[in-house]
Structure 1
Amino acid sequence: MGFSFVTEIPSPDVIRERFPLAPELAVRKKERDEEIKKIITGESDKLLVIVGPCSADNEEAVVDYVSRLVKVQEKTKDRLVIVPRVYTNKPRTTGEGYMGMIHQPDPEKKPDMLEGILAIRHMHMRVLQETGFSTADEMLYPENLRYLSDIMSYIAVGARSVENQFHRLVASGCDVPVGLKNPTSGDLTVMLNSVVAAQVPHDFIFRGWEVQCPGNPLSHTILRGAVNKHGQTIPNYHYEDLRLLYELYMKRNLKNPACIVDTNHSNSGKQYMEQIRIAKEVLHSRRHSDDIKNLVKGLMIESYIEPGSQKIGEHCYGKSITDPCLGWDDTERLLYDIAELS
C-alpha cells in the first residue's frame, strides 16, 4: 500500500482529557444548544444566522472577528441567534489548495495533523471562553467529530459529502443540529434522503467500535445552489425553490422540517457582495408565505474582517485565503437589517 504512517494521532478522549472544557463553558454551550434547538423545532421564531469566514485560518483574526459579533448579538437578541462559523476543515474540489487549519495550523508551512487538531480545539475553545459563542464547523472527516463536539452547537455536511453514507450515519448520532447541503448537482432528493438517513437510528463501525446512534431529529437541509453540466451556477434560494422544497418536505415523514439558506457558494456564484441581496430576498419570501417562514429557519453568510480574498502569503489581517467574504462593515449593517426584516 502507498501509505506512509507519519504520526499516531491521540484519540478524541485523550485530547479532551488533556484539554478539557471548563464546567462553566460547558454550561454556556448547553444554553446555546437549547436556543438553537428551539429555532429548528419551531418553538422559537428567532432567525438563526451562521456567519463567519469561509475558512478559519488565523486564531487571532477569528477571535477578533467573533468578538465583534458580541455587540450585534446583544442588540438583536430578540430576533436573531448568531452562530459564528469557525470552519477548520475545507473540502477542495480538485484535492488541491488549503484544506483548513486541521491540516495546516500555519497555511505557509507543511501539513501537521496533530498540531492542527490541537490548534482547532484551542481556537474553538477560546472563542467560547472569550465571547460566549459556541461555534459551527463542517464535518468533513466524521471520525474527527469528537475532537470538537463538546464545543460546537452546529454542524454542517457539505455538498461533496452529503451523499456519503458515513457522514449520514455519524450525523444520526449528533445531539446538535446538523445541516445537510444539497449536492453540487442541486438534486433536492439526494439532500432529503440524507436528512431521512440522519434522522433514523443506525448501527455501524466508528473508530474501531460497533456503535448505535438513535437518530438526530434536528438534522435539516441547507440550500447552497448548484452547478450544471456546463459549469454554470444555478441558484436555489428564490421563492419558487423554497416553495418546492416545502412541498417535498410535506411528502415525507420528517421531524422538524427546516432549511437554512446559504447566501454564498453557488447561490451567489461566489460574488460575495450578492449575499446582501440574497439574504434580503429570502427574508421577503418568508414574509410573503407562512409556509416558507415556518420552513426557512436561518441564513448562512460568509464574512470576515476585510472584504474579498487574498492569496496565502499576502498577510492581510482578517482577509479570507479561500472564498471571498463580506467585510465587517457590510456584515454589521446586514445583520441589523436581517434583524429588522425578520
Structure 2
Amino acid sequence: MSFSYLKQLPTPEEIKQTYPLNNTCKKIKCERDEEISRVLRGESDKFLVIIGPCSADKEEPVMDYIHRLARVNEQTKDKLILIPRIYTNKPRTTGEGYKGIATQPDPEAKPDMIAGLIAVRSLHLRAIEETGLSAADEMLYPENWDYINDLLSYVAIGARSVEDQQHRLTVSGFDVASGMKNPTSGDFSVMLNSVYAAQHPHHFVHRGWEVDTTGNPLAHVILRGAVNKRGVAIPNYHYEDLIRLNEMYEKMDLVNPACIVDANHSNSNKKYEEQIRIVKEVMHNRKESAIINKLVKGVMIESYICPGNQKIGEHIYGKSITDPCLGWEESEQLLYAIADSVR
C-alpha cells in the first residue's frame, strides 16, 4: 500500500472538550471578531496589524512575545487592532523541512500529529486567556479549521493554497476575517477570484460531511509580492499596485473591498529589515490617497523577540527557525509609528 495508517486522530469535538474555551474568553473573542469585522466593513477607522513570528515554534517564547504585544495593544487600542500571528503550520515549497507545531510540537523530534493538535489548541487558548488577544493562523490544511474555529479571529490562505478549490470553498464557511494572498505568480485575477469564491455559498464535502456554506463576506485580499519566471521578487505594495487593485475590485461582484499588505515575503525579498520601510511607505500612501486609505485596512509583519533567524538546534530564545523576522525593539517602534500615522 502507498499509505501506512499510523493512528486515528481525535475528533475536533474531543479536542475541544478536553481543552475548552471558557465563557470569559468566548466573550473576548466575539468582541474582537466584531471589532475586526467593523474595520473590514468600513465602519471603523482603526487599522489592523497582524504581527508575530513566521512560525510559532515554541510555546514559551511565543507567549512572551504576545505578552509584549498586549502591552503595546493597550497603548494603541484607540487606533490599532493588534492580531498576533500564531502560525502553527509552515508551508514548504518542496515538502522538506519543519512543518510547524501542528506536525512537530518539538522541532527536533519526530512528527506527532496528536501532540501537535493539542499544542496548537493550547497555544491559542493561552494567548486569549493570558493576554486577551485572539490570534491569526494560516489555514494550510482546511480540515484543521474545526479544531480551532472557536479560537481564531483571523485566517490567512497562503500563496500556494489560494488557487486550491478546497481552500476557497472551506473559507466560504468561515465566520471570521479571512485574507486570500495573491499567488506566487502575482496574478491579481486569481486572488480576486478566490475572494469571489469565498464570499459566495457552496455545497461540497468537508471532513466526511456533505455541507452547505453561506459565504464569507469578510474574505479579502493580502498582497505579498510575486516572483517572476526568472525567480526575481516583484513587490506589489506600491501606489500603482494598490490603485490597480482598487480598479479591479470595482469590476467584480464583491462586498467589503479590503486589502492587507504583507510587508515580508516577496514584497521584501525576505530581507526582513525592509519591512519597516515598506510599512512606512504604505502608511504614507494611505495619507496621500483617499482611495488607498479606504482600501488598505492593515499590514502583516513577521516579527519575533530576536531579529533574523537560526537553524533548528541552535536554541537562541525567541529567534525564528524559519524565515527571518524583525526583532522586538524595532517592531515595537514600528507599531507606535503606525499608530501615529493612522488618521
| Length-normalised TM-score, structure 1 | 0.99
Give the residue type in structure 1 aligned to 2:264. Answer: N
1:261 aligns with 2:294: no
1:152, distance to aligned residue in structure 2 (A): 0.5
Q: Secondary structure at the match of 1:7?
A: coil
Letter in 1 for 2:193: N
Matches within 5 A, 1:165-314: 165-314=165-314
Task: Single out whichever of 179-188 and 285-294 deviates more from structure 2.
Answer: 285-294
1:110-189 equivalence runs, <5 A = 110-189=110-189
Query: Offset at 1:74?
Result: 1.1
Q: Which residue of 1 aligns with 2:55?
A: 55
How many Å separate the matches in 1 of 2:75 and 2:91?
Answer: 34
Distance in 2 (alpha carbons) for counterparts of 1:48 and 1:178:
13
Q: What are the Cα deviations for residues 216-240 of structure 1, in whole angstroms up to 9, with x where unaligned? A: 0000000000000111100000000
3-state secondary structure, aligned to 1:70:
helix
Q: Once the two structures are superposed, what CA deviation does each residue of 1:177-209 show, in whole Å capped at 9, x if it has no partner?
A: 100000000000000000000000001011111
Shift of 1:45: 0.5
- CA distance in 1 between counterparts of 2:274 and 2:96 reads 27
- 2:22 aligned residue: 22
- How much does 1:251 deviate? 0.7
Letter in 1 for 2:263: T
Sequence identity, in percent?
Answer: 64
Q: Give the aligned CA root-mean-square deviation in angstroms.
A: 0.5
Match of 1:217, SS? coil
SS in 2 for 1:174: coil
Residue identity matched to 2:306: E
Alignment partner, residue 43 of structure 2: 43
Secondary structure at 2:83 match in 1 = strand
Q: How far apart, CA to CA, are the structure 2 residues paired with 1:203 and 1:262?
A: 31
Q: Amino acid of the residue matched to residue 3 of structure 2?
A: F
Residue of structure 2 in register with 1:321 after alignment: 321
Q: Deviation of residue 17 (structure 1)?
A: 1.4
Q: Distance in 1 between matches of 2:139 and 2:35?
A: 21
The residue identity in structure 2 corresponding to 1:79 is K
Structure 1 residue ranges without an equivalent (≥5)? none
Residue 7 of structure 1, CA deviation? 1.3
How far the C-alpha of 1:18 sits from its partner, in A, is 1.6
- Cα distance in 2 between the residues matched to 1:299 and 1:237: 10
Whole-angstrom distance in 2 between the partners of 1:252 and 1:293: 20
How far did residue 146 of structure 1 move? 1.1
Q: Give, in angstroms, the shift of residue 269 of structure 1.
A: 0.2
Provide the C-alpha distance between the structure 2 equivalents of 1:146 and 1:232, rounded to a whole number of angstroms: 37
Distance 1:119 1:165 in 2: 28
Residue identity in the other structure for 1:172: S
Letter matched to residue 282 of structure 1: V
Cα displacement string for residues 11-38 of structure 1 (whole angstroms, at most 9, x for unaligned residues)? 1111111211111111111010011101
Report the Cα distance in structure 2 between the residues aligned to 1:10 and 1:71, rounded to whole angstroms. Answer: 36
Query: What SS does structure 1 have at the residue aligned with 2:192?
Result: helix
Using the TM superposition, give the Cα deviation of residue 253 of structure 1 relative to its aligned residue in structure 2, in angstroms: 1.5
2:277 is matched by which residue type in structure 1?
R
Equivalent residue letter for 1:235? P
Match of 2:332 in 1: 332
Distance 1:3 1:79 in 2: 51
Partner Cα separation in structure 2 for residue 40 and residue 144 of structure 1: 25
**DSSP 3-state at the match of 1:75:** helix
Q: Please state how far the C-alpha of 1:242 moved relative to its aligned partner.
A: 0.4
CA distance in 2, matches of 1:101, 1:71: 26
Q: CA deviation at 1:70?
A: 1.3
Partner-residue secondary structure (3-state), 2:111: coil
Partners of 2:19 and 2:56 in 1: CA distance: 20
CA distance in 2, matches of 1:210, 1:13: 18
Amino acid at match of 1:71: R
Q: Per-residue deviation at 1:104?
A: 0.3
Dislocated runs of 4+, deviation >4 Å = none
How many residue pairs match? The answer is: 342
The CA distance in 1 between the partners of 2:296 and 2:149, in whole Å, is: 25
> So what's the TM-score if we normalise by structure 2?
0.99
Partner AA of 1:136 in structure 2: A
How far, CA to CA, are the matches of 2:179 and 2:133 in structure 1?
A: 19
For 1:54, the aligned partner's letter is C
Cα distance, 1:280 vs. partner?
0.4
The answer for the alignment partner of 1:101 in structure 2 is 101
Q: Hey, what's the Cα distance between the residues in 2 that align with 1:2 and 1:253?
A: 44
